[in-house]
A and B are shown apart, each in its own frame.
Chain A
Amino acid sequence: MASTPSTPPPVSAKRPEFRNIHALSDLPNYRLPAAGIVSILHRISGVLMFLLMPFVIWLFDVSVTSEISFESFRSAFLAGIGFVPAWFVKLVTLGLIWGYLHHFTAGVRHLWMDATHSVSKAQGKQSAVATLVISLALTVVLGAKLFGLY
C-alpha cells in the first residue's frame, strides 16, 4: 500500500517479538496451543522414561525372576523398599504410567497424522486435545488403582 507524503503510515501497536525464547522470562507468558503442549509433553515423557529405565528393568527383574523376588516386588508397593517408602515407589510408578500413556497416545497421533495426512490446523488441535484427554483419563484410572482407591 502506497501512502501519500501528507499522511504518514499509521504507527502499529508494538507487538511482542520472540527471537530467542528465554526459559524463565518468556515461556511462562508464551501461549502454547494444544498441539504444542502435546509436543513438549511428548519430549518430557520420553526423557522421563529414559531416566526411569533402570527402575523399569528392576521392576521387571524382581517381578519375574522368582516367587521370592515377586514377593519383594509386591512389598515394595505395600511397605516400601530399603529407605524408600511405599508412597514414593507409587509416585514414581504413577509418573511412569503417565509418561507411558502420554508418549503412547501422542505417538499413535503421529502415526495417524502420517498415515492420513491429517495435518490441518483444526485437525491438529482436535487430535491434540483428544491425546490429552485420553492419556490423562487413563492415568487417573490406573493411578486410582495403584493407590488402592478401588
Chain B
Amino acid sequence: MAINHGSKRLVVGAHYGLRDWLAQRVTAILMALFTVVLLLQVVVGEPLSYDKWAGIFATQWMKVFTFVVILSLLYHAWVGMRDVWMDYIKPVGVKLALQVFTIVWLVGCAGWAIQVLWRL
C-alpha cells in the first residue's frame, strides 16, 4: 500500500498521468503496426476485390489483432479526448457531460465494430 502519511505522503494528483502517457504510446504502436500489416495484405497479390478484402479479416489471427486494435483505439481516444476537454472546457458540469458523452460514444462504437468483426 502506498505511504499516505509523514514526509512521503502523496499530496497531488490522481496518479493516472504516467499510466495514460504510457498507454497512449503502447496503443499507438499497436495501431501503427496494424496499419502496416493491413496495408501489406491489401497491396500484396491480386487487385483488391470483395473476396480478398473479406478474406483478410476472416483469418483468426487477424480477427484477434483487429479486436485488440479496437480496444486500443477505445483507450487511446479516451485519453486524448479527455485531455482536450480538460484543457478547453472549464465549467465542471459541461466537462462532466462531455466526458460521459465521450465514454458512451466510444463504448458504443467499439461494440458496433466488434459486432461487425465477429459476425464475419
List the B side residues contacting A60 at CB < 8 Å. Answer: 113, 116
Tell me, in angstroms, the Cα distance from A39 to B27 when the chains sit together. Answer: 19
List the B side residues contacting A53 at CB < 8 Å. Answer: 77, 105-106, 109
Interface size on B, residues (CB 8 A): 22
Is the CB–CB distance between A46 and B112 below 8 Å?
no
Bin the interface of chain A by size: 20 to 34
Is the CB–CB distance between B32 and A63 below 8 Å?
no
The majority secondary structure among interface residues of chain A is helix
Judged by a CB distance under 8 angstroms, whether A64 is at the interface is yes
Is the CB–CB distance between B116 and A61 below 8 Å?
yes
List the A side residues contacting B106 at CB < 8 Å. Answer: 50, 53
Judged by a CB distance under 8 angstroms, whether B50 is at the interface is yes
Judged by a CB distance under 8 angstroms, whether A65 is at the interface is yes
The majority secondary structure among interface residues of chain B is helix
CB distance from A53 to the nearest CB of B (A): 5
B interface footprint on A72-90 (CB within 8 Å = 1, 0 otherwise) = 0000000000000000000
Is the CB–CB distance between A64 and B77 below 8 Å?
no
Judged by a CB distance under 8 angstroms, whether A37 is at the interface is no
Tell me, in angstroms, the Cα distance from A16 to B106 when the chains sit together. Answer: 42
Tell me, in angstroms, the Cα distance from A57 to B69 when the chains sit together. Answer: 13
Assuming A54-B112, A67-B50, A111-B28, what are 6 further A-B pairs, CB within 8 angstroms? A46-B81, A47-B84, A53-B109, A63-B50, A64-B53, A64-B120
- A-B contacts, 28 listed (Cβ < 8 Å): A43-B84, A46-B77, A46-B80, A46-B81, A47-B81, A47-B84, A50-B77, A50-B102, A50-B105, A53-B106, A53-B109, A54-B112, A57-B112, A57-B113, A60-B113, A60-B116, A63-B50, A63-B53, A64-B120, A65-B116, A65-B120, A67-B50, A70-B50, A70-B54, A104-B35, A107-B28, A110-B25, A111-B25
Spell out A's residues near B (CB within 8 Å). Answer: 43, 46-47, 49-50, 53-54, 57, 60-61, 63-65, 67, 70, 104, 107-108, 110-111, 114
